[in-house]
A and B are shown apart, each in its own frame.
Chain A
């Protein structure tokens, strides 16, 4: 069975500082990995995805993530955050043939002025 672990439930960070949101996964088969963002009272929006190829993936709003197979991680990073990045971030995986997503429990990013 597959699982996704987001180690940090909340991450406070000052505006213009860098941030890293951690995601680790467990799977015995190859996975596809995703990061979604959820703003208050809204649905989930895809930030970026790793399907294959380059392990460094760039997404929208200046976010990027690096797939590390040996450490089974897919951490999300942004070099300089803005107040508007305050939201909940979800890491998810799926596997070939199912495309059902398994989500982590989410990390609430709070950007402070």
Chain B
């Protein structure tokens, strides 16, 4: 089966600019996650979707980050405006259902804010 697709792979922007990341999960996977992985740290959950509804966004900095999953398939994560501390790898993952153990991760988008 095809994996979780993410784009772009790399992005460099200046602080205060905006940026968007795209994720296409594995076909049929109802649950989609966005994780932020800062260099030297483990991934941290930003937001979890079940179909097109938000299950958990408690660690999403909502003043600058937003995410949507229209039609319960693809998802977009946006940062506006970006800060230097947003430099990280943004990982998208999907699983069959909220009870599905073991995500499938995409390759991630490496964001550098200068």
Categorize the interface residue count of chain B: 20 to 34
Q: How far is the CA of A94 from the CA of B45 in the complex (A)?
A: 12
Taking a contact as CB atoms under 8 Å apart, the answer to whether A43 and B105 are in contact is yes
Instruction: Give 10 new A-B contacts, CB below 8 A, not counting A41-B107, A90-B42.
Output: A34-B101, A43-B4, A43-B106, A43-B107, A44-B105, A92-B42, A99-B100, A100-B56, A105-B42, A106-B41
Asked, given contacts A43-B4, A101-B43, A104-B42, whether A49 binds B48 with beta carbons under 8 Å apart, the answer is: no
Q: Are A103 and B101 in contact (CB under 8 A)?
A: no
A-side contacts of B91, CB under 8 Å? 43-44
Residue B16 at the chain A interface, CB threshold 8 Å? no
Chain B positions within 8 Å of A, measured between CB atoms, are 4, 31, 35, 40-45, 48, 56, 91, 93, 95, 98-108, 110
CA distance A43 to B93 in the complex (A): 9
Chain A contact residue count (CB 8 A cutoff): 23
Residue numbers in B under 8 Å from A42 (CB-CB):
107-108
List the A side residues contacting B48 at CB < 8 Å: 100
Contact call A101/B45, Cβ cutoff below 8 A: yes
Complex CA distance for A99 and B96, rounded to whole angstroms? 12
